[in-house]
Structure 1
């Protein structure tokens, strides 16, 4: 694998961020996070957060070293219980007792779970304009989020900012347009945006030989810094020190257009994964019910599920599924955007063209 460097920019303006969004280029912002009240309150006074949030019951990911938080089961703890475990590891950063951390507070919306600390930080302009809030992460040294890119049915590819308020993290970043053949996708519904390779830091090249050709960026995000992660960029994250972070996801019409050209190969790979998805009948029935709902009051039949299993082209041909790739236009901030309809039309056309080619390949 080959790794390049990343640029650091002091107090980037909104216009500078927008220029990097349009280029699809990551960078590290300095001089921003260290001016938030949280920078001092959360890192130098470990009693502050537990006094604010101590008795709240929150969902925590139950995991071990080198296991992605999305793979762990969720358990409910009081914040004070989790905090006690975290501070134990914070005060023993080298983990001399060789104890495996059990829990990870992963991507919990601050507005939903932690309103008491919303004034401790400043939401960057772009996510703030879109009504987006922060997600809180509190992790221990050695914890890993395996290789993935950000994606959801409501936000099919989001731009993101990740602010390290306390601690240090390593991000391994990969431009999807340069690594189209390097990372195979998982085949389960909801995990298509996750890579099959389990550890890009020590990949099994016998199992994943294509990974050796990957071209990436190693970015160590220090305390008080913030990373911009462009839409659809693969990233693997390892916590280098006990850390507290905030991330912000948002959309940009300009970077949405990248899905129609520079990142079109990524979209096509994603479609191929959906076409070949491994899914239980009950889940497939739910998906059909959502993307191709029958008449009101009726349910999807078992016969229809079997038909879709025999002919997966039926699912990727559904108009509602095709239109989901341009769901970003549903963001209220883009309601009157002059480029909104053009993007939706272009994205829909690209997906429909892929479906036609796929049909033709099935019937040569």
Structure 2
């Protein structure tokens, strides 16, 4: 797979207590934050050895079981699908973190180890106290963004997008990120909306061995790809809706990430609207679909105030800006109609 290796903008000298969030959000493109978490205690332990990083985690572990994915060596570190895309190729398990870490450590020298993948577990739920020396200061920006931890061997998170903005911090090991702007969805061949390996649809293309006969438009996607490798202590900002393919490059890798939304909490994820639109619009006659496209452009995708600007304020209803009370009314209205 060929992707431009130098196409991600880099900022040096950022500190965890001085995140340039306004600059990142205004740019709207991926940014490598070189050395952002260089001084984290977990990063330091990982530089010493995988054993030291494991011991550092376990010093904070509270004993709670946590979910993880397991696959045989044939999985090759890629949680994905069976041949028919109807089931996943890994098992969803629950277990003790110390057990999972010891199993990873036991196979560090294996060329084809079993896949162990702890994905998106809230740090505070299983590792209380870890944040004291391993955190980013979102609070100073008025943002609630609790971190999640990702632990595994040479695992690959197949190319996908997330609705929130994201800062991913490479704590232990190295990771390669390959990123695509949102408009490349047409060239990335997304898989089923369910089941999915991690909650979002993923590209069906094997980035290590692309089948261009089956997925010819992937060549066009590669022309827009941006690739970068993160060393321990580096971080990357991934804007909302950017596709990203993440490969763990060492026998043991730990990543900590922060998701946050730039809209109030009472505005729900658009994924609900996507599913409803697939159900209610996709299979209508083409003439109707084009008419609904214009309706959505007017009410949704155009300027937020346009549809109600000619109405007096008291007459705008859902065309007025939402607040928490209006969001509750809208939720009740939708539930009442969906339950008919």
Match of 2:157 among 107, 124, 145: 145
Please say if 1:248 is aligned against 2:258.
yes
Q: CA deviation at 1:54?
A: 7.4
Determine if contact 2:119/2:151 at 8 Å carries over to the other structure.
yes
Runs ≥4 residues deviating over 6 A:
307-314, 341-345
Q: TM-score, normalised by structure 1?
A: 0.63
Q: Name whichever of 73-82 and 122-131 sits farther off.
A: 122-131
Q: 1:130 deviation in Å? A: 2.3
* CA distance in structure 1 between the aligned counterparts of 2:138 and 2:32, rounded to whole angstroms: 16
TM-score by length of 2: 0.67
Cα RMSD (Å) of the superposition?
Answer: 3.8
Partner Cα distance (1:47, 1:103) in 2: 18
8 Å Cα contact 2:42/2:56 also seen in 1: no
For 1:209, what is the secondary structure of its paired residue? Answer: coil
- Aligned partners of 2:166 and 2:276: how far apart in 1? 24
Q: Conserved in 2, the CA contact under 8 Å of 1:2 and 1:213?
A: no
1:299 aligns to what? Answer: none
Mapping of 1:37-116 within 5 angstroms? 37-44=41-48, 45=52, 46-53=54-61, 55-63=63-71, 64-68=75-79, 71=88, 72-90=90-108, 92=109, 95=110, 98-116=111-129
Secondary structure in 2 aligned to 1:19? helix
Aligned to 1:21: 25
Gaps of 5+ in 1: 151-156, 255-266, 278-306, 318-322, 326-340, 346-364
Quote the Cα distance in structure 2 between the aligned partners of 1:324 and 1:86.
47
Shift of 1:104: 0.9
Shift of residue 137, structure 1, vs aligned partner: 0.8
Contact preservation (8 Å) 1:27, 1:228? yes
- State the match for 1:11 in structure 2: 13
Show the counterpart of 2:181.
175
Identify the match of residue 159 of structure 1 among 153, 165, 169: 165
Q: Looking at secondary structure, tell me which structure has more helix per residue.
A: 1
Q: Note closer, same or farther for the CA distance 1:343–1:309 as it changes in structure 2 (3 Å cut).
A: closer
The 2-side partners of 1:100 and 1:237 are apart by: 19
> Structure 1 residues 107, 127: closer, same or farther in 2, change over 3 A?
farther
- Distance between the aligned counterparts of 1:29 and 1:35, measured in 2? 14
- Unpaired segments of 5 or more residues in structure 2? 82-87, 265-269, 293-298, 302-318, 324-340
> Shift of residue 208 of structure 1?
1.0
- Asked whether the equivalents of residues 69 and 104 of structure 1 are also in contact (C-alpha less than 8 Å), the reply is no
**Cα 1:84/1:54, change in 2 over 3 Å:** farther
SS at match of 1:35: coil
- What is aligned with 2:312? none
Instruction: Give the secondary structure class of the aligned counterpart of 1:206.
Output: coil
State the SS of the aligned residue for 2:209: coil
Pair 1:194–1:274, CA change in 2 (3 A): farther
Contact 1:43/1:165 (CA < 8 Å) preserved in 2? no
Q: What's the secondary structure of 2:174's corresponding residue?
A: strand
Q: Distance in 2 between matches of 1:309 and 1:230?
A: 28
